[in-house]
Structure 1
Amino acid sequence: MSIIASKRIEFPEVNKERRDFLKSIEEKWQKFWEQNRVFEADPDPSRQKFFVTFPYPYINAYPHLGTGYTVLRVDILARFKRMQGYNVLFPQGWHATGGPIVAAALRVREGDPKQINILRSLGIPEEEIPKFRDPEYWVYFFKKEFRRDFQRLGLSIDWRREFFTTRLNPPYNKFIQWQYTVLREKGLIAKGKHPVVWCPKEQKVVGDHDRPDEYAGIGPTEVVVIKFRGEDGYVYPCLTYRPETVYGAVNIWVNPDAEYLIAEVDGEKWIVGEYGARELADQDHKVNVVGRIKGAQLVGHFAVNPVTGWRVPVLPAFFVDADFGTGVVMSVPAHAPYDYVGLEDLKRDPYLLEKYNLDPSIIDAVQPVKLIEVEDYKGLPAQEAVQTFNAKTQRDIEALEKATKDVYSKEFYKGVLKPEIYGAKWGGRKVYEVKEEIINYLSEKGVAFRHYTLSSPVYCRCGAKTHVKLVKDQWFLRYSDKEWKQKAHECIDQMRFVPEEIRQEFHRLVDWYEDWACTHERELGTPLPWDERWVLESLSDSTIYMAYYTIAKYLQHPETYGIDWDRLGNSFFDYVFLGKGDPEKVSAETGVSRELLEKIRQEFLYWYPVDMRVSGKDLLGNHLVFFIMHHVAVFPRDKWPRGIGINGWVLA
């Protein structure tokens, strides 16, 4: 649905004569601006420049209200700076990289009624819909519609610099391949095995742009799976974020209403949820499903705590999600609010004991064991947190989440392990100091292993529930590199942020990011120059394109400047953006005259760096961080970005 007008919206009655008069004024000045090329900006050494940009929108539908809100803020800033006498450049491009367009085109080809109805709801004529079977048609159709709406909004854009992404635009394609060649030469791209968010239906990596907005920013998290061996011959694999608390695990939880798999995993017979089995299989474990069993059938069984040797019962808990992690949870009621409340529910509800044929003496024997001292809690941390946040039963999810966050945070940073539990090696030390040591100990003992999972469910745009997979031969950006992070922090320190409070969030995010899978298969985009089986994903090809704006008026109009796209290569971009190479040789190699080559380079030098990048807050956690990271990796310090402005969302 266009931000300008929609057949589906009924506007209140207006004075049509007055409306038409106002529209005629709009059209008059928009025509004047276009005919007189008012907003075309060229270098002028006598004037101070101001370069402002807006993230190029993804063109798989019409512009939405959020697009209009943010881009109007950019336009207001651009016009204000012109009034102050600045030479202002406000360019615009379009983003077509990634899976959503390909996935939508596939659904049209398959005759998916939901996707076809979406196109109808957008006002696409019936005879036009079959054309949307082709992903390329989506690109060209909505690119045209976006530009039309932006022009009708009267945005003060220099349209000579318009471009769109993917291999469909050869000069931009070559620009991106140059960027990744530079990053590889600097050792900032690596190949190997890495955990990624994976769609089992479409068999692809799911980046932030391949999922609905509410799932953005959720990635693989390292956890630990601890194996409790059951007296019934099964292994109960308990996934935990807090392996150091296994010393206080006094029972195991399963969801009595859920169905579990009996699976041979690495030669052992395990009880595991279907989701967990899929995730284990995709993380180098041999998994063979041999049967199924209800959680209720496991209640009352016993297993052995692999560290303490305690005999612990398997008990029912409704807060356990069999489709999260392994679906099996170790219970540490002294330090986990959910576990404490789950145990209390059983103690005070004789109906549950009768339903699952549990002897009350079994429940009475399960007693919390305090492992960690923290000044904020005098007694059992879980018990006190539950009381503080008023969590009465395991159904009080919101209160339990708050209590859990409170306990885990305080214990991790301030908690001290009790010497009588952990001995001289770890006793008396902080949790955060010894956690890795304990994980290594459990792994060497053969009772635990590291695993990757998602902290909350993530769904692909195709509707499938994703999981974490270890992808082999994948290419990654080494965002974990300490020197790279340090440069990013230095850039953040010298930038202007609006509002100022987001500066610290950028620092936090730079530290938080680890290596990032930058390539996908079967998507629109730019092929990796040295391994064309892979295509750069949508967040990874949209980091320094602001530099491309400065020279796009030349490259996007080759017929005007006599540029042969086929002859453009890395040497051209090396010289234009980095001043590297012999201009005579570059001219001979590319066919671009020495005079034009110098003119293109001077254009970049005049406009760069970006003075202000304005975006909605949804891009703070990914694109804007990558924007900083890639600039400090590719460009010298004087070309690092100067400012970022963030706004909220328009909610309808």
Structure 2
Amino acid sequence: MFTLPQRIDKNIEKKWQDFWQENKIFSFNLSLKKPIFVIDSPPPFTSGYLHMGHVLSYSYFDFVAHYKRMSGFNVYYPQGWDCQGFPTEVKVEKEYGKKSPLEFRNLCISWTEDCIKNMKRQMISLGFSADWNYEYRTMDKNYHRLVQLSVLKMYEKNLIYKANHPVYWCTKCKSALSKTDTEDILRSTTLYSILFGLESEGKISTKSIEIATTRPELLHAAVAVLYNPSDPRYSEFKNKKLFAITPLFNKKVPLLADSDVDKDFGSGLVMVCTFGDKQDVIWTYRHKLNYIQAIDKDGKITNAPGFEGMSLKEAKEKIIQELEKNSKIIKKVQIQQSVKVHDRCSTPVELLNSYQWFAKIIEKKDKIIQSAKAIKWYPDFAISHLLDWANSLEWDWVISRQRIFGTPIPFWICENCNEIIPAKEAELPVYPANTTKKCPKCGSQAQGETAVFDCWVDSSISPLVISKWQEDEEFFSKTYPASLRPQGLEIIRTWAFYTIYRCVELTDKVPFSQILINGNVLAPNGKKMSKSLGNIIDPDKLIDQYGADAIRIWAALSGAMAKDRPFSYQDITFGKNFVHKLLNAGKFVQKALADFDKKNFSLDYLLEIDKFYLKKFFVLVNNVSLYWENYQFHHIIKEITNFFWHDFCDNYLEFTKYRLSSADSKSKLAAQFVLYKIYSNTILLLAPFIPHSAEELWQMFKSDKLDSVFFNSYPTPSDFKEFDFITQDILEKGKIFENILEDIRKQKASLRGQSNEIDVLISGPKEVKEVLDLFELDLKNSLKLKSITYKFSQDLKIEISTKT
């Protein structure tokens, strides 16, 4: 007989992790005659370690993978790694300093490989059931080939272009950014009221006008001053040819009306410079204003005599000094200001004109929105994040980055005629930097593109990559679109948005049928986890202290989808305690079933107490089936653990103890049968959540050496049709019985062992007596009562007495 362990420890977890890998329990086989369920699992950025947000989100879809396998699906669950981009370069540069491009790239690769090794170890230690035969890395050559091929096909559709356009720019990373690479932070700053000169109808006015700005360092790049035509303070400006004259630089700029000017901000007059923020870009294009480059790509002031080459901070201090010296600053006010920063290095981003590669998304917004609506979102409100994002976009997606560790952009540009020469498909992957080609148009030399793609260009084709797009037509036809895309709330605007856009353009199909959204994990006090705050929770330490399955229970208990939630030590402690409770109950059940032979059992042997707890269990199975339809993991785990702990362990087990040693063989067989039926099926219900414990406990029931718990079907209501003879009213009767049981237990506990001879007097109506007749033997034997007496009355009342 298999001996259950004292506890489910790391050795047992490792045993089953090795078993799954060695026996390919979770391997995908395209030739199986089962419906295929594809999970487009998120390739995490290779930071070197998993954080609790990873643990939460990966637990979610690992639950789904197990459930679908046990529900008869051929689950394809590959795992990839998002290797390239700013974060890796920042960390490698910090550790190794400046290097040649080739040496730097090799250092990035080596650093990333070490990171992947550790993160993969963590995933395996948590019991995640990915098929590692289909592992992919965005830094590998074949991935580069597919990214380049996808972009070339979009270029053929006239969706990719290079142009000089305002882009977000990080002066620290020295690269263009897309809006998705930025985040808004609130900071305290000073609003300066500055006096400008005024020219009206060709004459210099004696009046000055007051302009409020937080960025006096951009005075030299002012190209207009605007006012709101509905502002009564400036009604005299209407229908006049007006110019504002900038202080220090003495430059005339048009004074124009625009209804977007905020009348309540400052003086109601706003300086337009190129570019202070995105509104400046809009106004510059709307009014066809001149462009003056305010700063260079290093963040140094340019086109400003006397301030040339200064940093923005230095120039701001110097310009304020000069303005004050000339009495041009009349007011200073401290305000809170929203500022865009690069999400990777926290440097405030600037807007400058730059020659970059773009993907057309503005003209495709409606198509993206309609495609998103064709996907089933869990929860359904999460789609609003994508819709809001799509409707907020002002210009196309900047897809080029001035970095090294990324997928090379597969184009050459003629030095003479600017002809763009795309790579040929047969050449892919290509690495154009520092290479040349002959221009087919004019015969001149074409230089290879040195920029690389935004990392979202890489990851936005993950559904295509895992389905072997452009590589294996049969595999692609069976695995695309994916069934499920699990991902975080905060990257709906990036990974979900760009994947839908790119895949629909390349295949004319939405990339996945369903999308499952998780929120972020916060520190226990509700604050964001960060190294600087010292509140990072290490998954490895939690595994050591609580066990992998306890962590997975925590993940399942973590509330509704798409919402941020604080980490709960209470939930993870509950998970550990529940696993121990399950194990101890398993030892009881194993001993109870030692001489059980199902062939000797008949359904006629079932007592009312058996029917009641079987019926409660069937209600549980039905509820769980409904919850799975909407991935409501927290409801599933709460109902299962509540039933098992309180109904099965606290109650039913107690009712079987006297029967297991009873001379009544039918009663004993019925108790054994119910113990077997509920406990074995509870293990199956829990298997997606606690795979290590489920696998260990299933050894009590397995019939074959390679019989994994995951080779069994997940319990559904249809599995228990033979019990349809148990009527619904048993639940109502059982509820009355449980109320009586609970009352007697409380009163008995208050006696604190004063006597073992307890008499119970129950007063109540006829229907209570009928219930008592059904369960009296169980009540008397399980609570070790000397006697139970019943007296009819209108209200239920329970009294216990003892002999002293």
- Out of 475, 499, 506, the position equivalent to 2:357 is 475
Question: Could you tell me which residue of structure 1 aligns to residue 406 of structure 2?
Answer: 525
- Work out whether residues 197 and 247 of structure 2, in 8 Å CA contact, stay in contact via their aligned partners in 1: no
Query: CA offsets, 1:247-296, max 9 Å, x none?
Result: 52759xxxxxxxxx965487889999999599734599843345633498
- Work out whether residues 33 and 39 of structure 1, in 8 Å CA contact, stay in contact via their aligned partners in 2: yes
Q: How is 1:197-236 mapped onto 2 (pairs within 5 angstroms)?
A: 197-207=168-178, 229=198
Question: Could you tell me which residue of structure 2 aligns to residue 421 of structure 1?
Answer: none
What is the CA-CA distance between 1:228 and the residue it aligns to? 6.2
- Does residue 147 (structure 1) correspond to residue 111 (structure 2)? The answer is no
d(CA) in 2 for partners of 1:648, 1:495: 19
| Identity of matched residues, % | 24
d(CA) in 2 for partners of 1:132, 1:62: 21
What is the CA-CA distance between 1:24 and the residue it aligns to? 2.2
- Which runs of no fewer than 5 residues in structure 2 stay unpaired? 187-193, 200-204, 215-223, 235-245, 255-269, 278-291, 308-317, 413-448, 524-804
- Out of 487, 495, 502, the position equivalent to 1:623 is 495
Question: Could you tell me which residue of structure 2 aligns to residue 94 of structure 1?
Answer: 81
Residue identity matched to 1:134? L
Q: How is 1:40-55 mapped onto 2 (pairs within 5 angstroms)?
A: 40-44=27-31, 46-55=33-42
- Does residue 134 (structure 1) correspond to residue 107 (structure 2)? The answer is yes
Question: Could you tell me which residue of structure 1 aligns to residue 156 of structure 2?
Answer: 185
What is the CA-CA distance between 1:52 and the residue it aligns to? 1.2
Question: Could you tell me which residue of structure 2 aligns to residue 633 of structure 1?
Answer: 505
User: Matched residue of 2:294: which SS?
Assistant: helix
Question: Could you tell me which residue of structure 1 aligns to residue 748 of structure 2?
Answer: none
Relative to structure 1, is the Cα distance of residues 92 and 265 closer, same or farther in structure 2, using a 3 angstrom cutoff?
farther
- Does residue 500 (structure 1) correspond to residue 405 (structure 2)? The answer is no
Residue identity matched to 1:544? I
d(CA) in 2 for partners of 1:157, 1:177: 27
What is the CA-CA distance between 1:621 and the residue it aligns to? 1.9
d(CA) in 2 for partners of 1:456, 1:607: 43
RMSD: 4.1
d(CA) in 2 for partners of 1:95, 1:606: 25
- Out of 50, 56, 68, the position equivalent to 1:63 is 50
Relative to structure 1, is the Cα distance of residues 131 and 83 closer, same or farther in structure 2, using a 3 angstrom cutoff?
same
Relative to structure 1, is the Cα distance of residues 207 and 319 closer, same or farther in structure 2, using a 3 angstrom cutoff?
same
d(CA) in 2 for partners of 1:151, 1:226: 65
Question: Could you tell me which residue of structure 2 aligns to residue 288 of structure 1?
Answer: 305
d(CA) in 2 for partners of 1:546, 1:88: 15
d(CA) in 2 for partners of 1:226, 1:509: 38
- Does residue 535 (structure 1) correspond to residue 452 (structure 2)? The answer is yes
Question: Could you tell me which residue of structure 2 aligns to residue 83 of structure 1?
Answer: 70
Query: CA offsets, 1:517-563, max 9 Å, x none?
Result: 10112231111111431200111211112221233xxxxxxxxxxxx
Residue identity matched to 2:494? N
d(CA) in 1 for partners of 2:406, 2:251: 39
d(CA) in 2 for partners of 1:295, 1:271: 18
User: Matched residue of 1:524: which SS?
Assistant: coil
Question: Could you tell me which residue of structure 2 aligns to residue 510 of structure 1?
Answer: 390
Query: CA offsets, 1:104-153, max 9 Å, x none?
Result: 21122249xxxxxxxxxxxxxxxxxx999922222111011111111111
Please give the TM-score of this superposition, normalised by the length of structure 2: 0.45
d(CA) in 1 for partners of 2:376, 2:522: 27
Residue identity matched to 2:511? W
- Out of 209, 215, 231, the position equivalent to 1:248 is 231
- Does residue 546 (structure 1) correspond to residue 463 (structure 2)? The answer is yes
Residue identity matched to 1:548? V
- Work out whether residues 266 and 285 of structure 1, in 8 Å CA contact, stay in contact via their aligned partners in 2: no
Relative to structure 1, is the Cα distance of residues 501 and 264 closer, same or farther in structure 2, using a 3 angstrom cutoff?
same
d(CA) in 1 for partners of 2:324, 2:36: 73
d(CA) in 1 for partners of 2:185, 2:45: 17
d(CA) in 2 for partners of 1:84, 1:59: 33
User: Matched residue of 2:522: which SS?
Assistant: coil
Aligned residues: 404
What is the CA-CA distance between 1:239 and the residue it aligns to? 6.5
User: Matched residue of 1:292: which SS?
Assistant: helix
Relative to structure 1, is the Cα distance of residues 141 and 78 closer, same or farther in structure 2, using a 3 angstrom cutoff?
same
Please give the TM-score of this superposition, normalised by the length of structure 1: 0.55
What is the CA-CA distance between 1:243 and the residue it aligns to? 5.1
- Work out whether residues 196 and 208 of structure 2, in 8 Å CA contact, stay in contact via their aligned partners in 1: no
Query: CA offsets, 1:437-463, max 9 Å, x none?
Result: xxxxxxxxxxxxxxxxxx623146445
Query: CA offsets, 1:565-613, max 9 Å, x none?
Result: xxxxxxxx64x4xxxxxxxxxxxxxxxxxxxxxxx22111111111111
Residue identity matched to 1:36? N
d(CA) in 2 for partners of 1:612, 1:36: 26
Query: CA offsets, 1:355-412, max 9 Å, x none?
Result: xxxxxxxxxxxxxxxxxxxxxxxxxxxxxxxxxxxxxxxxxxxxxxxxxxxxxxxxxx
Relative to structure 1, is the Cα distance of residues 550 and 642 closer, same or farther in structure 2, using a 3 angstrom cutoff?
same
What is the CA-CA distance between 1:25 and the residue it aligns to? 2.0
User: Matched residue of 2:75: which SS?
Assistant: strand
Query: CA offsets, 1:61-102, max 9 Å, x none?
Result: 311110111001010011111111111111101011112211
What is the CA-CA distance between 1:511 and the residue it aligns to? 3.0
Structure scoring higher RCO (CA < 8 A, sep ≥ 6) equals 1
Residue identity matched to 2:371? C
d(CA) in 1 for partners of 2:476, 2:109: 30
What is the CA-CA distance between 1:640 and the residue it aligns to? 3.5
Question: Could you tell me which residue of structure 1 aligns to residue 680 of structure 2?
Answer: none
What is the CA-CA distance between 1:56 and the residue it aligns to? 0.7
- Work out whether residues 372 and 383 of structure 2, in 8 Å CA contact, stay in contact via their aligned partners in 1: yes
- Out of 335, 357, 365, the position equivalent to 1:485 is 365
Question: Could you tell me which residue of structure 1 aligns to residue 764 of structure 2?
Answer: none
User: Matched residue of 1:202: which SS?
Assistant: coil
User: Matched residue of 2:81: which SS?
Assistant: coil
- Work out whether residues 460 and 466 of structure 1, in 8 Å CA contact, stay in contact via their aligned partners in 2: no
d(CA) in 2 for partners of 1:82, 1:142: 30
Residue identity matched to 1:618? E
Query: CA offsets, 1:179-208, max 9 Å, x none?
Result: 000111111111102222212233212457
- Does residue 159 (structure 1) correspond to residue 132 (structure 2)? The answer is yes
Question: Could you tell me which residue of structure 1 aligns to residue 732 of structure 2?
Answer: none
Question: Could you tell me which residue of structure 2 aligns to residue 608 of structure 1?
Answer: 480
d(CA) in 2 for partners of 1:626, 1:227: 45
Q: How is 1:189-588 mapped onto 2 (pairs within 5 angstroms)?
A: 189-207=160-178, 229=198, 245=228, 248=231, 250=233, 264=249, 280-281=294-295, 286-289=303-306, 292-294=319-321, 297=324, 315-319=330-334, 456-459=339-342, 461-472=344-355, 474-481=356-363, 484-513=364-393, 514-531=395-412, 532-551=449-468, 574=470, 576=471
- Work out whether residues 55 and 614 of structure 1, in 8 Å CA contact, stay in contact via their aligned partners in 2: yes
